[in-house]
Homo-oligomer: A and B are copies of this chain.
Amino acid sequence: MAGKSICFGIIGCAKISRKLARAMSLAPNAILSAIGSRSIDKARRFAVENGLPEAVNVYGSYEEVLDDPTVEAVYLPLPTSMHVRWAVAVAERKKQVLLEKPTALNVADLDRILEACESNGVQFMDGTMWIHHPRTHKMKELLSDPNRFGELRSVHSIVAAGSDAHFLENDIRVKADLDGLGSLGHAGWYCVHLILWANDYMLPKTVTAFQGTIHNKAGVILSCGASMVWEDVKVATFQCAFLINLVMDVSVHVSNGTLHVHDFVIPFEETSAPFRFVTNTGFKELQLGWKPFPSEHVVVTDLPQEVHMVEEFVRLVKSIKDSGSKPDSKWPTISRKTQLVIDAVKVSIDKGCEPINVGS
C-alpha cells in the first residue's frame, strides 16, 4: 500500500498493547505515535520495555493521547465497562476506533459507540485477529464451494483459557465492575463470531444457554455455553470457560465433509497455521477403516494475524482519508451481530436457560 502512514495512539498498557505495538511496527503504513496510561510511570516503562522509538509521545492520561494532533486512530484495549466512554470520546475527536473485543457489555452500549463513529465519519473495527488470518480466508474459500463441501449443518466451538488460581482471583476479566461478561465476553466472543462466520453472518433464530453456567462470587461468568438454531436445519453449539487449560477448537460439519481447527484464535505458530479437512469420506469394506483419511493443510503467512488486522484497518482508514469515502460498514455490522448473539446468551442464562429469540 503506497502513501502516507496512519498514526496510532494506544490507551492502556495492557499485555495485548505490547502485541499491537509490535503489529503497528510490522504493518506497512501504520505508525505508533502515542502511548498513554493513567500512570505516566507505567507508560514510560511500556515505552522502554517495548523499545518504542523516541518519537513516540508518552502520556500519563488517556485524554492526552486523544488530544495529540499526530494521533489519527486509537487502539483501545480497556476493560469492557470503559468502552462506551472512551470509544465515544475517540470518535468525537474524529479519530478512528480500533476497539478490543468484547466491544461492549450489551448491544445498546455498542450502538452508542457505533452511532458516535458514524456521525463523526470515522471507521470502527473490533480487535478480533483470527478473522484476518490468511488461513481463515482459505477455509472460507473451501467451505464456500458447494461441490466440495455441500451444505452447512453444524458448527461447534470451544475456547477456554485461564484455569490458574491467580487468574481466577486477580484478572480484570473476572471483575464485575470491569468485565461483567467474563468468559462469555472474552472467550465466547470468538466462538460466536466463528459460528456467524461459518454461517455467512446469518443470525440464528434462537439461542439457548446450557444448564450449568458457573459464576464467581462477584457474579461474573466463568464458564457457560449455548446451542443455537437457524430457520433451516443448521445448528451450532459453543462453550467458553476460564476453568480449562488453553483450548481454541472449532469443527464445521457440512453435508459432504468436516473441517477441524484446534488453534483458530491464536495459531500454534506465528508463521504457519494448520487445519484438517475431509470430504466425501466413508468406510473401507467391512468398515475396517476410513477412506479417504482427513488431510492436514498448512497456510503459511509472512506476517502474523494481528498485522493483517492492522493492515485491514489502515486500508479502510486511508480510503476515508484519501478518497473521502464513508466508513466501511462490514466490520461494524459483524461486531454488532456478534454482540447481539452474546446478549441473547446472557439473557438465556439469566432466564434459566430459556430459548431466546435473537434481536436485530
Within 8 A of B (CB), among A217-249: 223, 225, 227-229, 233-235, 237, 239, 241, 243-247, 249
- Whether the Cβ atoms of A289 and B260 lie closer than 8 Å is no
Q: Is B245's CB under 8 angstroms from A266's CB?
A: no
Neighbouring B residues of A268 by C-beta, 8 Å? 289-290, 293-294
Contact A211 B223 (CB under 8 A): no
Contacts of A281 in B (CB 8 A): 245-246
Q: Taking A227-B225, A233-B214, A246-B281 as contacts, is the C-beta distance between A156 and B156 under 8 angstroms?
A: yes
Q: Say whether B279 contacts A245, CB under 8 Å.
A: yes
Q: How many copies does the complex hold?
A: 2
Residues of B within 8 A of A256 (CB): 163, 245
Q: Smallest CB-CB separation from A246: which chain B residue?
A: B281
Among candidates B227, B237, B270, residue contacting A288 with C-beta atoms closer than 8 Å: B270
Q: Which residue of B208, B260, B283 is within 8 Å of A211 (Cβ)?
A: B208
A96 to chain B, nearest CB (A): 24
Given contacts A225-B227, A235-B212, contact A266 B290 (CB under 8 A): yes
Report if A335 contacts B (CB, 8 A).
Answer: no
Q: Report how many residues on chain A are interfacial, defined by Cβ distance under 8 Å.
A: 67
Contact (Cβ within 8 A) A282 B206: no
- Say if the beta carbon of A2 comes within 8 Å of chain B: no
Nearest CB of B to A356, in Å? 11
A289 touches B267 (CB 8 A): yes
Interface residues of A in 52-81 (CB under 8 A from B): none
Residue of A150, A160, A288 ringed by the most chain B CB atoms within 10 A: A288
Q: In the complex, what distance in Å separates the CA atom of A55 from the CA atom of B15?
A: 75
Interchain CB contact under 8 A, A251 and B158: yes
Give chain B residues whose Cβ lies under 8 Å from the Cβ of A267.
289
Q: Pick 30 A–B contacts, CB within 8 A, sort by A.
A: A15-B287, A19-B288, A153-B223, A154-B158, A154-B241, A156-B156, A158-B251, A208-B211, A210-B229, A210-B237, A211-B227, A211-B228, A211-B229, A211-B355, A225-B237, A227-B237, A244-B253, A244-B255, A245-B253, A245-B257, A245-B258, A245-B279, A245-B280, A246-B278, A246-B290, A247-B251, A249-B251, A249-B258, A270-B289, A353-B355
Q: List residues of chain A with CB under 8 Å of any chain B CB.
A: 15-16, 18-19, 22, 150, 153-154, 156, 158, 160, 163, 206, 208, 210-212, 214, 223, 225, 227-229, 233-235, 237, 239, 241, 243-247, 249, 251, 253-258, 260, 262-263, 266-270, 276, 278-283, 286-290, 293-294, 304, 353, 355
